[in-house]
Amino acid sequence: MRGIINGSAAEGAPMAGERMSKPVVVSLLVLAAAALFRSGGPSVCPAAAQARPAKAQWEYAVMFRTLKFVTNEVTVRLRLPDKAIEAKSLREVCQQLGRPVEEESTAVALNVLGEEGWELVAYSEAESVRDVRLLSITWVFKRPK
């Protein structure tokens, strides 16, 4: 390989369009990693590296809603860190949380939980057609401890 330095060809420097050899690339990566490790990471300000916040502590809640298509029977279960609620509707769950609502609505129930500090982090829906056709919906929430 050769390159141009100050108008003349120089041995060892790649020219435009040429690639560096694999050992050279690996060596450069190792040197860059060592420099980052030695400096304590890519932080620009040493004070910022010392003032890292503690890891967040979370508590979780899970709400399940099951619908049996044959009987139209609905079951809602809410598992909170300190209690469990079982009800026949989302509206009833809200009432048991001390937050009576007028309508049976998923959005209303999610808003009630949001007002209690719960953030929706996962949702899943599954339909089973084995013995009895079921629709199961699961919501997972978290909030800081």
Beta-bridge partners for 137: 65, 125
| Level-2 CATH architecture, domain 58-144 | 2-Layer Sandwich (3.30)
Tell me: the pLDDT tens digits for 41-66?
A: 455 555 555 667 778 799 999 999 99
pLDDT at 1 over 50: no
pTM score: 0.61
Report the alpha-carbon distance of residue 68 to residue 103 in Å, rounded. 21
Contact (CB, 8 A) for 88 and 96: no
Domain locations in the chain as residue ranges? 2-50, 58-144
Across residues 3-23, what is the average pLDDT?
50
- Residue pointed to by tokens 């860059």: 32
The residue among 123 and 43 whose pLDDT is bigger is 123
